[in-house]
Structure 1
Amino acid sequence: MKTKAHSFLICIVTILPVLDLIAGPTLKTQFQWKWTNNQVLELNEYHDVFFRVGTKTVEREDKNRVVMKTKQCSQDSCLVNAWFDTYMRYGKTSGPFWKDKEFLSDFTLFRNGRYEVPNEFTMPNLRSFPSFPETPVAVSDVWKLPAEESFDFTSERIRVKVTPEYTFQGIFPWKEGNYSGTCEKITYTYPIFYNKPETEKMAPNVPYKIFGFANGTVFFNAERGVPEFKEVKLSYTFIYPNGTVQEANFHIKGVYFLRNQVNAKDKESIREDILNDLIVGYKRDGLPNGLRIGPGVRPGYTNPKTSSLGSPNRESNPNLMADPTGKLTTNENPDPNVISPLDGEEKDKIADQLPVKVRTTEDGIVFSLDSILFDFNDSKLKPDAESAVAKIAEILKKYPDREIRVSGHTDNIGKKEYNQKLSEERAKSVLHSLVDNHKMDEKHISFRGYADDLPVAPNDSEENRHKNRRVEITLVLD
């Protein structure tokens, strides 16, 4: 039975942390959300998923990237604009992630953790969780407050009221991959039960009964008032009118990052830095068509504001990211012997000759590679394409905490089904080159094929169709 279990279980468990560090067992802490204007909280979470229907089982890994921006904050609440991107890969944590769905949402988050989500939005599906009492709590204190889970099926949305029980455990360390911290720890559990009223009409693809439970832990940075890490195990059973029983189990881990919003000026500055890096790379190795890049910049040039010498923020506390771009930074003085970058006119002239084009978009910075990539109707990277991907990988490694999306595109010649498959295979070829040849973290990279759905020019001439046959790599900044 096909359901949308992967879409409605995007847990934006947006957790509300504490105000003051606890110095002793008798002191109490007031939990409160401390978000402010022009801040972004990004959640990257990974789900080990197991489905069972009868004797058939499916294992899958999902990835959710949730970006929440404060639009306006008051003393009592923040109006939040959020993007929910979902990804998946089948099997047991192997192979590239496929970009699945996108959701947008506007909602109000109150300082005590209560949500107000307009009816037109499905996300966040876990609402008013966790919520905190008005009075301070001490270590080992327990409280219960109402929350809601929203399940979005094909033809119907089911909202289920739940009552989590929370326990404040004190201050403990956490670690996940390259990220770690020490902050307030809260454990929780709640059962879930839904039985459709007999007076309501049954829908064949919508369960009439849901039951299960959740057990989890959330960590908060008390001083900053934002979450750092969460881990939760969810178990659901769905019973459908035709007698089908579906079991779904999720093991979720998620890390939060806090930063300031990246504006258009920031993006353009990043694009300029990236273009400088590309020019340096091609000056060092040469262009495919033999064009020589003139003097003005030489191998070894680094922007003193954003050179990559280390990341003091990936360990200890992911919320202390001072650079809103997520680029590795250093404050060391620049080498006075390094030649300055090219001026705008000279840079633009050279950029027009590069086989890689760089532009800003709403999502971030896009590297566009055209026909240097593949032979006609082939998905194997050509040598010039491998060289271009290598130079892009050098740049992307300077943004280790950023999402990377690889998208394949074709012209409108040929059947839609064929172009869809070809665009996906070409995107995967570039992704595999980034991961296998350049050792980039595949958990931060996803792919998707768009066939001819997103042309950059009308498909009315060979020149324009040439522009549409491309693979794009997006460095996501929002």
Structure 2
Amino acid sequence: MRLSSFFFKKALLFTIVLSFITCSICAQQLETIDEGPKKFEYKYKENDSYRILSTVEEDVFVNGTKHHSAEIVNRISVKVHDVNEEKMTAINEGTFMTTENSVMAFQANTKTFSYGEEYKSTFTKDRFGVYTIDDNFFMPTVRDVPVFPDKELSYGDEWTYVGHEAHDLRRSFGLQKPYKVPFTAKYKYFGVFEDKNTEDGSIKKLDLFQVYYELSYTMDTSKLAISVMETPYKTTGFSSQLIFWDNDRGTIDHYIESFRIEINTTAGNIFTFVGNAHAEVTEFERTATVENVEDVTQKIADLGLEDVSVKQTEKGLTLSIENIQFKPDSDILLLSEKKKLDKLKDILSAYPNNDLLVTGHTALRGTAESRQELSEQRAEAVANYLVQIGVRDNYHIFTQGKGAEEPIATNQTEAGRKKNRRVEITIMD
């Protein structure tokens, strides 16, 4: 059987959004406090910005044989606006990005994540967590989780609410609107969990909820494109999640997950996904402001750094390191460039809640393929060094290569080519 890489990509995305954790005994094993009844609802503020970063680790089996393991990182950045104080609803504009490291059963893993494809979405959420979203948008995939009842909840209270998943089957199966899969989620409230910060010893009180639902549905294959050769027609499994809720902020603080999903296709193949996940939700500072450009520009001057500039971009605040030096035709940083990155550490560390995107660029030399590969490798080299010196961990820094597609100077002169050989570090919004 020939395995379609695109099918796997779609199936993996499908699994990411299905993943939900841990059985009730895990929640019961956590020490919690009964603080009496309280009301739970989302709280929205105009121009709020937040980011969700989730990591999924899973094993993928084909017809009972392990095919590969995957580590998947999902980054979602959202801006809140048009808050209706009376109805307590808000419009959320989000950018969704998914990137994956797939490791075959016989390979070793790496920890570098390239910046994946982006998806835009706009949706409204009310104070209970219910979505209103147009069928033109395919993200987020899991909707109406968690949803709270309009009443106070006490320790041990349970409730249910219908949610759904919206899957993007445009390229693989010819469906032009999200394929919606309904489910009924079961909720239970476990009281207050005291989350201790291991670095400074501070304690944050978070409310603990368990969410669990099962999947069992069959796709209506009559709606698929005639040319489709293999279709996932039956899906079964479970997903369960522990949600740690910050009731002061009115939002999720973090959550953890486990899942098992089995997909049967019309070709007789069985794809099984088993794994776990965790995610963090953080507020972050909008970096791409005139004030920040001026401030960082002055800091660069004070550090005596040459060939380094800063500008506002669509993704955030971008530091451009021109004429960055590597060993000839390689991705090995020279010592002089490492010292330059050492000096930039304090600037980058001033925005601890913002992810970093490292982008490599080359001059117009060699083939398009070799330029693309070299730009990716050099971005990874810079990112790895930033991880090494403690600027970020592996899960909060991403890389991409642009080859020679975005020159900032002419490639007809050596001076211009030096400018085009650059690496950009974006402090992401």
Query: Could you tell me the TM-score, scaled by structure 1's length?
Result: 0.76
Check whether the contact 1:9–1:125 (CA below 8 A) recurs between aligned residues: no
Give how far 1:161 is off: 0.3
Change (3 A) 1:365 1:405: same
SS in 1 for 2:385: helix
SS in 2 for 1:378: coil
Distance of 1:192 and 1:168 partners within structure 2: 22
Distance of 1:8 and 1:180 partners within structure 2: 36
Change (3 A) 1:197 1:13: closer
Q: How does 1:351-366 map to 2 (within 5 A)?
A: 354-366=306-318
Letter in 1 for 2:257: V
Give the corresponding residue for 1:268.
290
1:183 aligned to 2:193? Answer: no
Q: How does 1:201-220 map to 2 (within 5 A)?
A: 201=224, 203-220=228-245
Give the corresponding residue for 1:123.
139
Change (3 A) 1:365 1:380: same
Distance of 1:93 and 1:43 partners within structure 2: 24
Change (3 A) 1:121 1:453: farther
1:78 aligned to 2:84? Answer: no
SS in 2 for 1:208: strand
Give how far 1:472 is off: 1.0
Letter in 2 for 1:279: A
Give how far 1:8 is off: 4.1
Give how far 1:460 is off: 5.4
Letter in 2 for 1:422: L
Give how far 1:227 is off: 1.3
Q: How does 1:411-426 map to 2 (within 5 A)?
A: 411-426=363-378
Q: Which has the higher contact order (CA 8 A, sep 6+)?
A: 2
Give how far 1:375 is off: 4.9
Give the corresponding residue for 1:334.
none
Change (3 A) 1:67 1:417: same
Check whether the contact 2:142–2:165 (CA below 8 A) recurs between aligned residues: yes
Change (3 A) 1:174 1:453: farther
Give the corresponding residue for 2:354.
402
Check whether the contact 1:13–1:129 (CA below 8 A) recurs between aligned residues: no
1:5 aligned to 2:21? Answer: no
Match among 51, 58, 62 for residue 49 of structure 1: 58
Match among 115, 129, 132 for residue 99 of structure 1: 115
1:87 aligned to 2:87? Answer: no
SS in 2 for 1:145: strand
Give the corresponding residue for 2:162.
146
Change (3 A) 1:199 1:103: closer
Distance of 1:9 and 1:453 partners within structure 2: 34
Give the corresponding residue for 2:25.
none
Letter in 2 for 1:161: P
Letter in 2 for 1:181: K
Give how far 1:47 is off: 1.4
Give how far 1:224 is off: 2.3
Check whether the contact 1:372–1:384 (CA below 8 A) recurs between aligned residues: no
Give the corresponding residue for 1:453.
405
Distance of 1:139 and 1:52 partners within structure 2: 39
Change (3 A) 1:209 1:364: same
Distance of 1:241 and 1:23 partners within structure 2: 50
Check whether the contact 1:10–1:125 (CA below 8 A) recurs between aligned residues: no
Change (3 A) 1:458 1:111: farther
Match among 316, 341, 344 for residue 392 of structure 1: 344
User: Runs of 5+ in structure 1 lacking a partner?
Assistant: 15-21, 288-353
Change (3 A) 1:234 1:280: same
SS in 2 for 1:381: coil
- Deviation per CA, 1:41-73, whole angstroms, max 9, x where unpaired? 221222112211232421122222211111211
Give how far 1:198 is off: 5.8
Check whether the contact 2:33–2:192 (CA below 8 A) recurs between aligned residues: no
Letter in 2 for 1:394: D
Give the corresponding residue for 1:158.
179
Give how far 1:441 is off: 2.0
Distance of 1:263 and 1:369 partners within structure 2: 18
Letter in 1 for 2:71: E
Identity %: 26
Letter in 1 for 2:184: T
Check whether the contact 2:324–2:337 (CA below 8 A) recurs between aligned residues: yes
Distance of 1:13 and 1:269 partners within structure 2: 41
Give how far 1:23 is off: 9.3
SS in 2 for 1:97: coil
- Structure in which a larger fraction of residues adopt strand: 2
Check whether the contact 2:193–2:205 (CA below 8 A) recurs between aligned residues: yes
Letter in 2 for 1:171: V
1:37 aligned to 2:36? Answer: no
Give how far 1:434 is off: 1.6
Change (3 A) 1:175 1:210: farther
Check whether the contact 1:174–1:229 (CA below 8 A) recurs between aligned residues: no
Give how far 1:142 is off: 0.9
Change (3 A) 1:356 1:143: same
Give the corresponding residue for 1:336.
none
Distance of 1:211 and 1:176 partners within structure 2: 38
Give how far 1:199 is off: 4.2
SS in 1 for 2:139: coil
User: Runs of 5+ in structure 2 lacking a partner?
Assistant: 21-31
- Deviation per CA, 1:82-140, whole angstroms, max 9, x where unpaired? 11122333458742222112111100111111111211111100011111222322211
Give the corresponding residue for 1:345.
none
1:170 aligned to 2:180? Answer: no
Check whether the contact 2:282–2:353 (CA below 8 A) recurs between aligned residues: no
- Larger Rg, first or second structure (1 or 2): 1
1:137 aligned to 2:158? Answer: no
Match among 219, 222, 226 for residue 196 of structure 1: 219
Change (3 A) 1:409 1:174: same
Change (3 A) 1:11 1:176: farther
1:253 aligned to 2:278? Answer: yes
Letter in 2 for 1:224: R
Change (3 A) 1:279 1:9: farther
1:108 aligned to 2:131? Answer: no
Give the corresponding residue for 1:444.
396
Distance of 2:378 and 2:139 partners within structure 1: 32
Check whether the contact 1:404–1:445 (CA below 8 A) recurs between aligned residues: yes
Distance of 2:179 and 2:393 partners within structure 1: 37
SS in 2 for 1:451: coil
- Deviation per CA, 1:416-449, whole angstroms, max 9, x where unpaired? 2111111111111112222235564222112111
